[in-house]
A and B are shown apart, each in its own frame.
Chain A
Amino acid sequence: MTNEHVSKTNVREQYEYRRKKNAKEMKLQVVTFALMIFLTLIAFMAVGFSEHIPVKFIAPFILLLAIIQVIFQLYYFMHANHKGHELPMFYMYCGAATAFLTILAFCTIVWW
């Protein structure tokens, strides 16, 4: 009997806990979503003002923004920041490193 009681409160507490957590996460997601739209706007603006800003700056700048967007996407929308995602993330980084190495090699010795 007591056991049942305990487990009932447990369920309640867990529910409350999850509600709180979800609310917090939701807030974060909305914030990042806004940020991402903001970053996209900046990217468009950078191209829009290309008369005033040198192209040599714009291209790497937009690439940087893109990388930030990918990280937001992975961590906040695909939940890479949650527990238990360490190994998949490790593999993602390995894949990114392999791709980077390939592109680096192509840029330096194929298309020089």
Chain B
Amino acid sequence: MSSIAVKKGFGAILWEYLTTVDHKKIAHLYLMGGGFFFLVGGLEALLIRIQLLKPQNTFLSEQTFNEMFTMHGTTMIFLAAMPLLFAFMNAVVPLQIGARDVAFPFLNSLGFWLFFFGGVFLNLSWIFGSVPDAGWTSYATLSLASPGHGIDFYTLGLQISGFGTLISGINFLVTIINMRAPGMTFMRMPLFTWTTFIASTLILFAFPPLTVGIFFLMFDRLFGANFFDVAMGGNAVIWEHVFWIFGHPEVYILVLPAFGIFSEIIPTFSRKRLFGYSSMVFATVLIGFLGFMVWAHHMFTTGLGNVANAIFAVATMAIAVPTGIKIFNWLLTMWGGSIKISVPMLWSLGFIPTFVMGGVTGVMQGIAPLDYQLHDTYFIVAHFHYVILGGVVFAILAGLHFYWPKMWGTMLSEKIGYFTFVFFFIGFHLTFFIQHFLGLFGMPRRVATYLPGQGLELGNLISSIGAFMMAVGAISLVYNIIITVVKNKKVGNDPWGDGRTIEWAIPSPPPFYNFKQTPLVRGLDTYWIEKTEGKKELTPAEPLSDIHMPNNSFVPVVISFGLFVAAFGAMYNPLNQVGDGKSWALPMLIIGLLITFGSMLFRSIKDDHGYHIHKEDLMDDEGGESK
């Protein structure tokens, strides 16, 4: 691919990315988009920690502080963690199952652009000057009372990006069910594919509740509905239920692919097959299943009653069992392995104890009576950062180093990688370990400041220092990426030397059609099996023949842009709660929807049969550089 990049001008590359339907390019887009929002969310976190550095600080006003933590949480979950995981899913899953692309390449691109425009819409709130301020959970009691359009940016932006997530989830489900290479039975699928599969299932069932909940909130605020307005006979608690029916599965949507990434890295660098493969699969499925039955543990203090609290407490604690199975399997994979330390392996080693700590505090919070003490304190903040940062973000950083060569064809510097790890890891524990105690000392969550002389100063100071260390780590990572891109030193198929799964058998980055011949899968860890038999390539499952490829398309961008336009129309419509309706709003809403549905219609009517790469051209094409 990059040989084209040298010849093509900037405009051509941009156009290529705007219209691409290639899963590898869409992975690049997700990585860049998610990476950008990760930095934005990180900056917001830093500002929060500066405000809390000392008691009664006035760095941020109360209102700005509320906006800051709301946007931090929302950005990190929806616009950073999810897309970054989608980046790896796109880059790796089709290769791991021996497919030439995902099942619906067009929808794949649409999923990305919906996420992108939704994220941009949400963040435009900073420019418009009214920012969401009711927390990433946006409880109706707060969000209905929020003045200005902040919450509307939240509902409309998340609605748009949520469609994208749902579409991508379904796409991966269909891909994994239908596009596996011959011989790739379910029980031969690599674990990253398995966890992607289960996470996509969770997306399928968890995102519709979010969509419905956000629609209710949107209609309450923008079109005069009363779903959550108690004075009008609505019920505010319903939002909390709907949000957490989505919200708890969401945390597993995030952490399961993270588990998958570690389950690829640990066997690779222990040079030993994953211990207890089938129990790993079983645990993944079980976590996905149980993940739907525990949502009310976020609402113990809402007053659900003892019976409901007890049921949800027991269900919550049950999840610790499959999670524990996974931890032991990773440990036993390393046991007796010939371990090679590298940056991805280092992140994995850091992940295990960190995540265990997050799991332990999770079980503590699952004890309903204890949660009355812990709820809405810094203890909760510590818990979910241990699981989300220590689980998901560590996995993203591990995966970034591990899969970087497969995605871009170059290798991130190991030396700088160690530097990043040391600063980020130590900074992380400095920031969040002490927050357990701040919470137990009684510091509530989501407060803009605290009083001196209550024993909270030292803890907060340490926490803020840790945040700065993490920032140093993040900056070193950005530096690493820049110099790697500038050096542009190409690597071969299997740069780590111990790759086990199919993706390591093909060039880095793979040619745009991935496989000249669909590979035959002869067992778990296909490439490893071939290597132990002294072969360097996969056994093909078909003779060399023409390959059918989809055409690029600009339509996904237009569809998503239409919704983006419509969102502004909806926000300023005359019925909106803020009362600043504009006369142009309704036409704008209609025009936006017309753009979206018109381009969908265009796409449906136009025949686009794609094109073929001919056998002769394939034979000429040596290695990874497509011509």
Contacts and interface: CB of A to CB of B under 8 A. Distances in A.
B241 A105 contact: yes
A105 B305 CA distance: 12
Given A87-B177, A94-B201, 13 more contacts: A91-B204, A95-B205, A98-B205, A102-B241, A102-B245, A105-B241, A106-B238, A106-B241, A108-B308, A109-B304, A109-B308, A110-B237, A111-B235
Interface string A10-24: 000000000000000
Contacts of B235: 110-111
Nearest to B241: A110
Contacts of B205: 94-95, 98
B296 interface: yes
22 contacts: A87-B177, A91-B201, A91-B204, A94-B201, A95-B204, A98-B205, A98-B292, A102-B209, A102-B241, A102-B245, A105-B241, A105-B296, A106-B238, A106-B241, A108-B308, A109-B305, A109-B308, A110-B235, A110-B237, A110-B238, A110-B241, A111-B235
A13 B201 CA distance: 41
Interface centre among A87, A95, A98, A106, by most chain B C-beta atoms within 10 angstroms, is: A98
A67 interface: no
Contacts of A95: 204-205
B205 to A, nearest CB: 5
A37 interface: no
Contacts, number: 28
A105 B205 CA distance: 16
B325 interface: no
Contacts of B238: 106, 110
Interface in B190-204: 201, 204
B522 to A, nearest CB: 24
A101 B438 CA distance: 37
4 nearest A-B pairs in the assembled complex, by CB-CB distance: A109-B308, A98-B205, A109-B304, A98-B292
Nearest to A88: B177
B293 interface: yes
Interface in A3-43: none
Contacts of B201: 91, 94
A106 B209 CA distance: 13
A1 to B, nearest CB: 26
A94 B288 CA distance: 12
A101 B292 contact: yes
Interface in A80-112: 87, 91, 94-95, 98, 101-102, 105-106, 108-111
Contact of B293 (A91, A94, A101): A101
Nearest to A97: B292
Pick the most buried of A91, A98, A106, A109: most chain B CB atoms within 10 A of its CB.
Answer: A109
Interface in B255-299: 292-293, 296
Interface in B202-219: 204-205, 209
B442 to A, nearest CB: 29
A109 B205 CA distance: 21
Contacts of B245: 102
Contacts of B304: 109
A84 to B, nearest CB: 11
Contacts of B177: 87
Nearest to B304: A109
Contacts of A111: 235
Interface string B227-269: 0000000010110010001000000000000000000000000
A109 B293 CA distance: 14
A111 B177 CA distance: 39
A94 B293 CA distance: 13
A66 to B, nearest CB: 21
Contacts of A108: 308
A101 B237 CA distance: 17
A95 B202 CA distance: 10
A109 B201 CA distance: 27
Nearest to B240: A110
A52 B296 CA distance: 43
A91 B177 CA distance: 12
B178 to A, nearest CB: 9
A15 B434 CA distance: 75
B207 to A, nearest CB: 12
A26 B421 CA distance: 66
A110 B302 CA distance: 11
A87 B178 CA distance: 11
A102 B210 CA distance: 13
A94 to B, nearest CB: 7
Interface in A57-76: none
A98 B206 CA distance: 9
A108 B241 CA distance: 13
Contacts of A101: 292-293
Contacts of A94: 201, 205
A1 B305 CA distance: 80
A47 to B, nearest CB: 27
A52 B201 CA distance: 47
A70 to B, nearest CB: 18
Contacts of B237: 110
A91 B205 CA distance: 9
B184 to A, nearest CB: 16
B372 to A, nearest CB: 17
A110 B240 CA distance: 11
A105 B237 CA distance: 12
A95 B201 CA distance: 10
Contacts of A105: 241, 296
Interface string B152-192: 00000000000000000000000001000000000000000
A96 to B, nearest CB: 11
B215 to A, nearest CB: 16
A106 B308 CA distance: 11
A39 to B, nearest CB: 29
